[in-house]
Structure 1
């Protein structure tokens, strides 16, 4: 029996040269370079292209047609263990959809994609390619621009499209998972996504399954049928296996494609077919045995050595393979291996880069450890030196750590760690430091101080403070080390809410320390400026920020971003939302302004502030994707104000959509974060926001209970309210209590207290807080039925809010604020003649189902039952959930019914209660005692 594969196998069995020794030449001297754009481009190109079809791949007609014909499936999940041909099926679906006229995009994920900013960049490139566009050259766009571009491109894609995402099992970051959840939720009717994964992804599968929008393919559907086994073994390879032999092998392997492929390799070189089939098992152990005996055993020693050496590489190209295999024609070897179908896959049809099939790679690495355990470190070290000489420090450090060459890794980190820190590549640094022994870090102060920064910004201040305290770096003889340690210590004090201590220490350090290192010095100036902002020293803060901008290294992404963001905070305190938004956008853009920054997650500081500015302007479609990216980062980094504000905004948006359970879950997560990080202010903030949501549900007792818990959880609130924490400038315990009082207590007393607090805020120059207090004062007057006074005060206030773009300041106060806007819109004295003001009022009213004629009341109306029929048990349940704010979709999910059934219940409730809409139904239910 002869075949093309036989010829290829024979060529691999002939020696290329004398057998190769597995030892590695002495390392070449180090060279210091940065990752180059060309290397990133090649890696990204590989991620954006489906693997090229192998010569031995067979057509998977059944699963392919199942996927391509499922028109109602928004999400298709191809889930099975390794070796079941998930990627092969997806690749064939990709080609079939293309022939059917669909636009198609491909993205292969890896461990490095557990970074929302990185995955957003590659998603954006994928969507550009899918739309036939080319990415523009020049500076990398900011993560904010990329986030908005991704969702805009998905929404604006006018023709049918399918996005394929492979190897989803690599993803565990909650921010990335939330990003894909939102992509699935936002897909247009003509858009689909196909995900391949070894494990169950944490996506909203239950909801999609209930809605009939999920197609699932598992291992059972991916197993080879007997006909497919016949095509593989008899059709492609020219074997003449009998029906009985095929059936026997099919049962032995249970149709597992990987086992059948390996069986075919073994059978091609055996005469005793039946004996081999009798012995063959589809287990992993059997596969390893046959790989040893029938694949590697048939190859020459040089080829075996080549494969084993290259197994240490995740991806490989000719030059790096040649570095690990001196004297071998690497290009010819790789091309021949590829043609032979020996599990060598070209990762991109246009780039000479390769990888091994995952099962084969695992096997080769295990064999390398088994046969030559003493040579594994040398191979990794050789790869590290090649990457370092060629300007790729990231894989160079990775391979040095794989080699357990910790001195080498520390040396590389000494050269590059500060640059990575300045670029904000915190997760990358954290991953490396987790693998370095403590002694290696302690022996290199420059590395150790970056470690302290990384711990501070990824695992929280407590651990970093202990690390810094035990190190002695604060009193080091090196000016550079001492400057970095001092800046880090000030940051830790601020993150621990010890703002006064951070301010005092920071000012002392600025006076005492020389400008030993630009990054450390400008970091310290920025930090002092930020705590001065929190202390209320606005003039000093602006002066320091000006100094930081003049001192800063143009390549220091973090410091330039920090300066602009802090200045934006000052603008926001002064009530200038539009100016603050511009500064936050600039700050966030800075992080993506240089190609050298790669995929950075360091801009969570500015990114979440920009998301908040968008939220305040009710630009929700832009804000929410950014929040889903940045809130998990703020949580991991340990930024208390960013986490508080981020979780609160997400909870409010979920609540407004009627997703009540997710809203309260978000606040439970915030509370847990506060306990874990030992930050009482974060715990108290979760209670404070929970009180707000319960208030909007009309639950006075539960809301008041949460306010009591908020008061008990934190330090004396007088200090929190006196300082200018960004999360508490317009949301304090006092404000929350007054809000509760105007809704459930004495609105006149609330109005008087609000007026007094407003005067104090105005005297202190806290215009943002002053505006919030004025809003609540108007609502108290309206609640107390002083409508004329409320409208007179609201007219100039709404003009100011409109001019600055503060929409959520009203919307977040619920239906009562919408009633105020409605009355301002209708009132003759305050009727808007300006189209912008009219548009602003409409934006404040639109989220709510309010009626012009429905007056707010401070107490429930008297009177007994409305002329209504009795509600059924199910209708009572719907009414109770309606009162809690659940949307129609959430009601359907909670009651396990369809959307149309929910709408029928709502129509019946409205008819029986003789009311026009859901808001009136809830009000009537409360008057009748049907709803708490």
Structure 2
């Protein structure tokens, strides 16, 4: 409906709108929510509305000021403008006042004041601007606060209500607003409902990109990249990140471009490319961006920020034991700030560091706490996204309970543990000592290339496309590789090839 309204205003003669400031200012709202805050700000600056004596016009402009600044990723300026606007917008302007309360709730949330954010949301509900549009924003903001606090189930319920608030309820939840739609995709992704998340992203990612919401653009492109990588479509994953980086530079949103680099480093880490991942991390290390992230609570960086990415790299390619102490400090900071979702991720990484460093008792205690919380809230991708190292830790925890025949006192955790084990798949076969392994020349050049693509995460169909061969030819290469290497699976083949120096 906002898009329809925007088209109507675009069809009106500019000379007619200039004579009627009140309809003109309503058109600014439509522009803001469909084509983004920059275009809306340009329209306001080019109009004479700021000089209008109509109190309704001034109320709408006052409500827009902090909202536009927040949407432009200028939260500190938005906070200052918003405090002034709260004094200027009268209760009689119910729509403007409700939008202002919702905008201020978002600003207070980013600045770390959850209590005041909730108070602003209460104000939005009480302002009688409680149409479906404002209801969508209010429920979305409540969901964001729940998500940051680690209450995934509450957040999912909020986002589902929000995404259906602006349209007739339907099975796919695909006719809502981009603000709520991307958030609903986030909780679907976290629950490992990748098909649903992909469907929602197909609908809402283009909208989020058009409006230009920084955190929504980051979240949606990163999710698309991860879903593509899980499916073995590495090229599509890299394209999503290249697109995100380009958007960041084109729209002068450096945080967006840096987020693309950070996620690219993570993808390279999963491919086993330590030097390349480190180079991307160095390119992403922009002090101003990450100092600001430390001071604010930006949803896109709740789990993905520079310090944690650097510690993840240390776990994979450096001295894992040296990561335990800084991860403990990060965990304490997250808990003190009430950032429970972040705390779960950090505690998982600390458990992985303890496991890699041989601190088995501490690692088992840590992973038990992580799995308990994950089971309660349905957190799945938080664990799965950490890959083989997390899988090894979870398997050892499960094996320890099985060997000890520990009676379960937490059936929810046990069910969740089974779900994770199923998602990780069977453990790779143990590596032999390399005796009797074939010399590198016993593998053909094409088989070496298949191994390289396999190590990078490509699926059979994606490899076929890269090599210009059929799927059946790829399957033949894989069977030959397993026979020559003595491998029992794809991951086993890659591990053996790396151990024998056949691939990097």
Query: Normalising TM by the smaller chain, what interval?
Result: over 0.9
Q: Per-residue deviation at 1:923?
A: 1.2
Is 2:465 the partner of 1:893? Answer: yes
Does residue 438 of structure 2 align to residue 868 of structure 1?
yes
Structure 1 range deviating more: 584-593 or 676-685: 584-593
Q: Which of 140, 145, 154 is residue 579 of structure 1 equivalent to?
A: 154
Q: Which residue of 1 aligns with 2:72?
A: 496
Is 2:110 aligned against 1:534? yes
Give 2:270's match in structure 1, choosing from 676, 681, 696.
696
1:821 alignment counterpart: 394
The question of whether the paired residues in 2 share the 8 Å contact of 1:533 and 1:541 is answered with yes
2:480 aligned to which of 908, 911, 930: 908
Higher percent of residues as helix: 2
Partner residue of 1:560 out of 125, 135, 141? 135
Which of the numbers 655, 658, 661 marks the counterpart of 2:229?
655
SS state at 1:666 partner: helix
Q: Specify every segment of 5 or more residues in structure 2 that has no aligned partner in the other structure, as ranges.
A: none
Match of 1:879 in 2: 451
Partner of 1:604: 178
How much does 1:437 deviate?
4.0
Give how far 1:676 is off.
2.1
Q: Please tell me whether Structure 1 or Structure 2 has the larger radius of gyration of its CA atoms.
A: 1
Q: Distance in 1 between matches of 2:116 and 2:164?
A: 26
**1:893 positional shift:** 2.2
Preserved contact between residue 34 and residue 211 of structure 2 (Cα < 8 Å): yes
What is the Cα deviation at residue 557 of structure 1?
A: 1.7
Deviation digits for residues 798-848 of structure 1, max 9, x if unmatched?
111111111010011111111122112111369683554333223323344
Q: Let me know the Cα RMSD of the aligned residues.
A: 2.3
Structure 2 CA distance for partners of 1:470 and 1:803, relative to 1, 3 Å: same
1:594 is displaced (CA, Å) by 8.6
| Aligned ranges 1:50-65 → 2 under 5 Å | none
Instruction: Describe the SS at the equivalent of 1:785.
Output: coil
**Contact 1:616/1:806 (<8 A) preserved:** yes
Residue 327 of structure 2 is aligned to residue 757 of structure 1: no
State the secondary structure of the residue aligned to 2:285: helix
CA distance in 2, matches of 1:594, 1:520: 26
Alpha-carbon shift at residue 463 of structure 1 (Å): 2.6
Instruction: Please report the TM-score for the alignment, with normalisation by the length of structure 2.
Output: 0.93
User: What residue is the counterpart of 2:219 in the other structure?
Assistant: 645
| Residues 52-451 of structure 1 mapped to structure 2, 5 A cutoff | 425-451=1-27
Instruction: Please give the secondary structure, in 1, of the residue aligned with 2:236.
Output: helix
CA apart distance, 1:791: 1.3
Cα offset for 1:864? 6.3
1:726 is aligned to 299
Is the alpha carbon distance of 1:925 and 1:866 closer, same or farther for their aligned partners in structure 2, counting shifts above 3 Å?
Answer: farther
Distance 1:694 1:594, change over 3 A: closer
The aligned residue for residue 24 of structure 1 is none
Tell me what 2:238 maps to: 664
Unaligned runs of 5+ in 1: 1-424, 856-860
In 1, Cα distance between equivalents of 2:97 and 2:236: 43
In structure 2, relative to structure 1, the CA distance for the partners of 1:454 and 1:876 (3 Å cut) is: same
Distance change in 2, residues 1:830/1:619 (3 Å): farther
Instruction: Say whether residues 1:802 and 2:372 are aligned partners.
Output: no
TM-score w.r.t. the length of structure 1 is: 0.51
Q: Distance in 2 between the 1:832 and 1:821 partners? A: 18
1:627 counterpart = 2:201: yes
2:428 and 2:492 in contact (8 A); partners too = no
Q: Is residue 314 of structure 2 the alignment partner of residue 741 of structure 1? A: yes
**Structure 2 counterpart SS, 1:539:** helix
Residue of structure 2 equivalent to 1:845? 421
Q: 2:494 aligns with which of 922, 925, 929?
A: 922
- Give the CA deviation at 1:426: 2.7
Corresponding residue number in structure 2 for 1:291: none
CA 748–514 in structure 1, closer or farther in 2 if over 3 Å, else same? same
**Matched residue count:** 497
Contact 2:303 2:345 in 1 (8 A): yes
Residues 624, 650 of structure 1: 8 Å contact kept? yes
Report the structure, 1 or 2, having the larger strand content: 1
